Amino acid sequence: MSLLTEFDIHLFKEGKHFHLYKKLGSHLMEFNGKKGVYFALWAPNASQVSVIGDFNDWYRQAHPMKARPDSSGIWEVFIPEAKKGSLYKYFIKSNNGYEVEKGDPYAFYWETPPNTASVVWDLENTWNDKKWLTKRKKEAGKAKPVSVYELHIGSWKRVPEDGMRSLSYRELAEQLPGYLKETGFTHVEFMPVMEHPFFGSWGYQVTGYFAPSSRFGTPQDFMHLVDALHQAEIGVILDWVPSHFPNDLHGLHYFDGTFLYEHEDPNKGFHPDWQSYIFNYGRNEVRSFLISNALYWLDVFHADGLRVDAVASMLYLDYSRKEGEWEPNEFGGNEDLEAISFLKEFNEVVYAQFPDTMTIAEESTAWPMVSKPTYIGGLGFGMKWMMGWMHDTLEYFQKDPVHRKHHQNTITFSTTYAFTENFMLPLSHDEVVYGKQAILNKMPGDAWNKFANLRALYSYMFAHPGTKLLFMGAEFGQPSEWNHDSSLEWHLMEEAPHHNIKNTIAQLNKLYRSEPALYEKSFEAEGFEWVDFQDAESSVISFLRKGIEPKDNILVVCNLTPVPRENYRIGVPQQGTWKEIFNSDSNTLGGSGVKNAEEVRSEAVPTHQKEHSVSLTLPPMGVIYLKRG
C-alpha cells in the first residue's frame, strides 16, 4: 500500500511538492481490514531500511521497508502492530556500509529530550477560532497595527511549587491570552517550538521540524494554545529555522550515510558560528521538505505568520567565513543563488496559499528589497527586522544625556532609510543575553532616570514608523538578563517602577491600535514628516505621524535629557488647538508629572517652516504625543 501517487513523486522530484507531511512520515490508517501505521521515508542512498520500535523490540530485521521502483529514493511499509503512541526510529544501512538509527524527519511528535525516538501520532483537533480566521481573511492586505510580544515558552513563567518546571501549553493557554490582552499586544511570537534536543539552543537547533516540543505537551496541546490566543484575538507568529540544523545522530545530518539534507562541501554545508549544517537549497527534495514544513505550521496549527531566523547567513556564501573558506558563485559574487531562489519561492508559495499570513525576515545586512515582491526582484518577505534602528537606538539611549547632543544623528539616522523596506522595530532576546544587560540596565543614571529613559525609549519606539517587537520581561523593565533556565521575575510587578513600565507599554499599545496615524502608513514616507531634528543642543526631536485623514495626524516631541523645557516652540501644520494624548512623564506612569494645559492653542508665529506654532512644556526625559482637538 502507499499514500504516494505518481503525481506526488513527480512533484517531489521537481521540488514542487509542498504538502509532504500528508505523504511521508508515519500515518495511522487501515489497510486490508487491519488498522496500523503506514511509514514512508526518503533515503535514496540506503541499501536497507527498516522500522524499529517498541512494537518489535527495536529488532532491525522485523519490519524491513521496500524501496519504491520509481527512483524517488522513498521507502515504504505498513505495520499492523504499530499504533498511536508507538515509539519508533528508522534503521538505515547505507550503500557505503554506514549504519545508523534515525528519527523521522516528518514525525508529528517526539519523545521528550534527552530521549530521541519519534512517536506515531495524529493531527486530529477541534478548532474554535473560525471567527479569528474569518477576520484575518477579511483584513488581509490592509494596514493594521502589529505589536509583537516575543516569548520563550520554557522560561516565560515557571511553577515554583513543582520544582520550577516550565508551564505546559495548556497552562500557558490559561494565563498568556489574558496577559497579552492586558498589555495590549496584537501578536505573540514564539521562539522555535519545533522539537530540539538541547534546551540551551532556545529552539534554534531543530531536529523535529514537524513536531511541537513534547517538553510542554502534545501537538493537540499546542493547537489548544494557538486556539486560545486566537479566541482572545491575539495572532501567533512562529520562529522558523530553515538556515541550519544540528549534528545530533538521530537528526537530519548525514541521514542515509550521505550528505542528504546538507551540502557535501563544508564551505557550503557547515556553519562555523553555530557548528551546525546548512541545508542544500539547490536540491529539489530538500526545498520540498522546507516549504512543506513552512506550510504545515500555517495549515495544521493555524499560525498567523513565520519569522525566518538568520536570513543573512543564508544569503551570503562568505557569511562568517575567512578568505579561502568559501567559493564564489557562477558569476564570481558572494551571493548564495540557490538560497536566494529558495527564499523567493518560499515567500511566493506562502503568500499564494495563505495570503492573510505574514513572513518576517531577521536580516541584519543592507541586502536590498528583502520585503519587496519577487516580481520586481525582491525576496518577497512581508516585513524585515530593522536591525540598524535597534543598534542605533540602544547605542544612543545608553549614553549619558549630557553627551547626547553630540550624537543627535544616531537617533535621527534611521529615517533616512526607514521606508526602503517594510520594517519591524525589534528589541529582541538577542539584546538581553551574553553580558549585553537587560534593556533597563542599559539606561544611564540612577533608578529614577533609568525608568524615565526606558519610558522615553518605548514611547519613541511606538511613535517611530514600523511595526513593533518587544522581548518578554522588557515590558515591565526586568533588570536582569534573560536566563532560559529560570522564570521572568514576576515578583517585580509588585514594585511601582516596574508596574509603571508595564502600564506605559499598555498605554502605548492602546494608542498604537486606536490611532490610525501610528499604523496606516507605517511603510510609506508619506506617513512621516520631520518637524525639527536639528536642536541637538537640547537633545529634542519632533515629527508628525500621518494617517490617511489629516485629522488623525499626531505630533510627537521627544525631550531626551532630564531637563524640563518651558515655552518650547514647535511648528504645526494647521492652526487650531492641540491636545496632549500621551505623556511618558505622567504621574500615573511614575514620572514627575510635568505636562501641558488641557488644550494648547496654536499661534501665528512662524516656526520650523510652518506658519503656525504651539508653545509647549517639555517634560524631563519625556516623550509627548499631541493631536488636534
Active site members: 309, 362
List, as one string, the DSSP characters of 552-585.
Answer: G-EEEEEE-SS--EEEEEEEESS-SEEEEEEETT
Backbone angles phi, psi at 438, to 5 degrees: -65, 160
For 344-380, the three-class secondary structure string (H helix, E strand, C coil) is HHHHHHHHHHCCCCEEEECCCCCCCCCCCCHHHCCCC
Bond prior to 114 in cis (omega within 30° of 0): yes
| Residue among 222, 261, 296 at smallest CA distance from 103 | 261
How far apart, in whole angstroms, are the C-alpha atoms of residue 165 and residue 158?
Answer: 5
- Whole-angstrom distance, CA of residue 595 vs CA of residue 586: 7
Which phi and psi (to 5°) does residue 265 adopt? -70, 115
Q: Which residue has the cell 498567523?
A: 304
| Nearest residue to 431 via CA among 440, 421, 420, 418 | 440
SS3 119: strand
Phi, psi for 545 (deg, rounded to 5): -105, 130
Q: How far apart are CA 190 and CA 167, in angstroms?
A: 14
- Give the up-direction half-sphere exposure of residue 71: CA atoms within 13 A in the CB hemisphere: 3
Dihedral angle at the C-alpha atoms of 473, 276, 425, 491, nearest 10 degrees? 0
Across the strands, what pairs with 557? 542, 624
The answer to whether 305 and 187 are in contact (CB under 8 A) is yes
d(CA 223, CA 237): 13
Judge contact between 438 and 479, C-beta under 8 A: yes
> Cβ(44)–Cβ(256) under 8 Å?
yes
The dihedral region occupied by 409, where left means phi > 0, alpha psi between -120 and 50, and beta the remainder, is alpha
